Amino acid sequence: MERSPGSGGRWERSSPPAPPELTPDVEELQSRVQETLELLSPQDLRNFRLLLKTVDEEPRVSPVKLELEGRKKAGLARLVAQNYCEPAASRVLVKVLRQLRRADLLRLWQGAADRGGIPRKILKRSYDCVDGELDRYDLSGSRKAFLMCVEKSRPGAHRDIELMKEWLGQCQFEHTACIDPNKMELLRKITLFRDGLNEIKGDVGCCLITLMSHGENGFIKMEDGEKVSLQDIFEMFNNKNCPALQEKPKIFIIQACRGERRDSGVETDDEPMESDDVSEKRRLPTFSDYFIIYPTQADHVALRHPRTGSVMIEAMSEVFKQYGNKWHIADFFTRVNNRVVHTEFHLHEEPIKVSLVMESTLTKSVYF
């Protein structure tokens, strides 16, 4: 016979079992995973759950658990932390973030996977503090880069190549190298590169061109001294000639002199820095979505050290190592410029100063 609370027998309400206590290491892992999830867009978060079902790391998270416990970020983080032990959890995050193309988060978890530990506290990127996603470019497509460098008679250029290849890899770019070309070889290779973009069209997310050589205002010089017009190269990738890049960012990093003038700077009272639609068819401007960075002002020399390489390239590498992909590209190069401007340089024992110059027709923010 059934008993009721008032029938004299003892009645107890059953309760779900208490969740297992978490060790400090699992708690810290869960915290880092949740920080990562907080930085994902709603679309990325949906894709994260889908990818988690297929990641080739045992034991896999069951679809039932994902449905029941992984709807919210906190539950999803707890599920990952409790299901995988380190370093398996870091490997899982690396595999998923690589497919999401979140290079800023990937490098932290990659470092943790390599060390067999848990990544440090994750910094928010500037757009992660802003609601909405309409003001940043969608870089989920392939990222293509063209890397040209004149190495002959440019001591330190080999270091520039090493640093740029490292940076491009960290930002998830596939790059095409072109080292010590003559004028015709450069134009042929960069035309093939542009035509390749047009062939894959819808799959391109971003294009980056790096040109490192001697130069003068408006031109770069090949290893045989022949000049190539920068404007001609820019035009190759405009909205008419490269429809694959319409409304997609086109980034140009130019490491070359722009003239012979030298800026020795001015003295200040500050302490010295430490050294060493009107038609039926929507229209676009011919030139849009460009970002061009120069290592110096017009008509001025650029600086390159025989051992450490070019000043701008070295500063890019240092800022990226310190902050990763935290900022929109213009803010990133503003940081780089800050470092360059406040560093003392000498040329033939005379003080010399440089300042980077940015030109932009971007319509959204660029986060790698």
What's the pLDDT tens digit per position in 5-55? 444 444 444 555 555 556 777 888 888 888 888 878 777 888 888 888 888
pLDDT at position 114, please? 67
Assess whether 164 and 63 both reside in one domain. Answer: no
Query: Is residue 152, in this structure, part of any structural domain at all?
Result: yes
Tens of pLDDT, residues 217-246 = 899 999 888 999 999 999 999 999 999 999
Q: How far apart are CA 26 and CA 34, in angstroms?
A: 12
- Whether 257 sits among the annotated catalytic residues: the reply is yes
- Torsion angle of alpha carbons 239, 240, 243, 248, nearest 10°? -10
- Encoded tokens for 206: 């971003």
Domain carrying residue 53: 24-122
- Whether 175 sits among the annotated catalytic residues: the reply is no
Q: How far apart are CA 356 and CA 312, in angstroms?
A: 8
pLDDT at position 107, please? 72
Could you give the count of Cα atoms lying within 13 Å of 352 in the half-sphere of its Cβ?
18
Strand bridging mode 142-149 / 174-179: parallel
Assess whether 82 and 152 both reside in one domain. Answer: no
Which is more confidently placed, 325 or 31? Answer: 31
Assess whether 353 and 219 both reside in one domain. Answer: yes
pLDDT at position 21, please? 59
Could you give the count of Cα atoms lying within 13 Å of 55 in the half-sphere of its Cβ?
29
CA 305: distance to chain centroid? 26
Query: Is residue 83, in this structure, part of any structural domain at all?
Result: yes
Query: Is residue 113, in this structure, part of any structural domain at all?
Result: yes
pLDDT at position 195, please? 96
Assess whether 227 and 284 both reside in one domain. Answer: yes
Average pLDDT over residues 180-184: 96
Average pLDDT over residues 280-284: 68
Assess whether 193 and 341 both reside in one domain. Answer: yes
Nearest Cα neighbor of 262 from 215, 302, 303, 300 is: 300
Query: Is residue 107, in this structure, part of any structural domain at all?
Result: yes
Average pLDDT over residues 283-307: 91
Which of 122, 152, 183 is the last residue before a domain boundary? 122
pLDDT at position 267, please? 61
Assess whether 111 and 148 both reside in one domain. Answer: no
Assess whether 213 and 248 both reside in one domain. Answer: yes
Count up the domains in the chain and report the number: 2
Among the options 178, 207, 242, 257, which is catalytic? Answer: 257
Q: What average pLDDT is seen over the chain?
A: 82
**CATH number of residue 249's parent domain:** 3.40.50.1460
Residue environment code for 32-68, b if the CB has 16+ CB neighbours within 10 A, otherwise e: bbbbbbebbbeebeebbbebbeebebeebbeeeebee
pLDDT at position 126, please? 53
Query: Is residue 340, in this structure, part of any structural domain at all?
Result: yes
Assess whether 94 and 157 both reside in one domain. Answer: no
Report how far apart, in Å, the C-alpha atoms of 225 and of each of 153, 215, 228, 297 are: 11, 9, 10, 22
Q: How far apart are CA 171 and CA 206, in angstroms?
A: 11
Q: How far apart are CA 129 and CA 127, in angstroms?
A: 5
Query: Is residue 165, in this structure, part of any structural domain at all?
Result: yes
Query: Is residue 73, in this structure, part of any structural domain at all?
Result: yes
Among the options 178, 206, 207, 214, which is catalytic? Answer: 214
- Encoded tokens for 297: 């002002």
21-25, 90-94, 312-316, 356-360: least confident range: 21-25
Contacts with 73 (C-beta within 8 Å, 6 or more apart), sequence order: 34, 37, 38, 45
Query: Is residue 11, in this structure, part of any structural domain at all?
Result: no
Assess whether 194 and 325 both reside in one domain. Answer: yes
- Is it the case that residue 268 has pLDDT exceeding 80? no
